Structure 1
């Protein structure tokens, strides 16, 4: 069973469309929201669990954005990944 509060849906939008800066802003808002809910209701309520799940999802989205930036792949690299035995993709020790 999934519980969603109006506060959560207002602060978080689709992570795959947003830029990293927007994701970080959403993360900060979700983190503050989760902390406030935890202080108000304790740790055993569904609203608090959903809030912390949202924080985890945003952390994962930010990490995925960082990985995309670190490993840009060219068309040639993709080709070599698909066909490692192609003559142009072979690596030789010199």
Structure 2
């Protein structure tokens, strides 16, 4: 009897792989987060970066990857934490889809 991962587990495994690859380019991501631009622009540029560096991700998965990237940098300083917090609020408020 084989163990086949559920769709959610496959999604999480793939998201982890994508985030790991993107974090290699951590300096570019840090520059983006440290720029004085609106959170919606940060999201747009981050999604563009994810799209450029991945293949076959749907919009929900791209948002999940963006969240993982932002969350992973949130503990690197108050600016990064504030960006992550603002991004979460924008998602919940419907400003980012």
Under a length normalisation based on structure 1, what TM-score does the superposition of the two structures give?
0.33
Pair member with larger Rg = 1
Return the structure number with greater helix share.
2
